[in-house]
Amino acid sequence: CAAAIAAVTPASAQFLADRKVWLLQTEHTTYAMGVNSRGELQHLYWGARLWRADDLPNAVPVRDISSFDPSATRTPEEYPAWGGARFYEPALKITRADGDRDVVLHYVSQREQPDGVDIELKDIDDDIFVTLRYRVFQKEDIVSRQSVIENRSKQRV
């Protein structure tokens, strides 16, 4: 019986290349994110397990409503940084040696792992990289995320 259950259980992490969407799943939970048209990694879903990928929305930036309610503030980024027209508490805030504090992260690449996926983001102006390491612990019904921040620029931050 255990072999039959394992055979029908989907992989912990799936990448839907045609939609640029990642699904991280345990027996009871689905966590999903995708890359939108601006190159931002956007949070899509976290909750009870979804059995069909078609139940997920695509990653689409929220449109601007007004000059004081811009799309960048309203689009649910997976790992928002302090920069651009974002008026909320970020996951990452830096100050460069020249005083510049603007960081806008865009998707660069992914690396599949046996128990999850690593997604690399990069600042649009500088060689500041963030690797988000997602791991799925099936037995414990846990999806974890760890961030690794690297300054590959020549400037001190």
Express each pLDDT in 53-105 by its tens digit. Answer: 888 888 776 665 655 555 555 567 888 887 766 666 788 888 888 888 889 99
Whole-model pTM above 0.85? Answer: no
The domain 2-151 is placed in CATH, from the list 3.40.50.1980, 3.30.460.10, 3.90.1150.10, 2.70.98.60, at 2.70.98.60
The residue among 78, 69, 70 whose CA lies nearest residue 36 is 78
pLDDT given at position 31:
95
**What does the block give as tokens for 98?**
């020249």
pLDDT for res 66: 54
Closest listed residue to residue 14, CA positions, set 36, 2, 30: 30
Is the per-residue pLDDT at 150 higher than 90? yes
Domain ranges, ordered by start, for the chain: 2-151
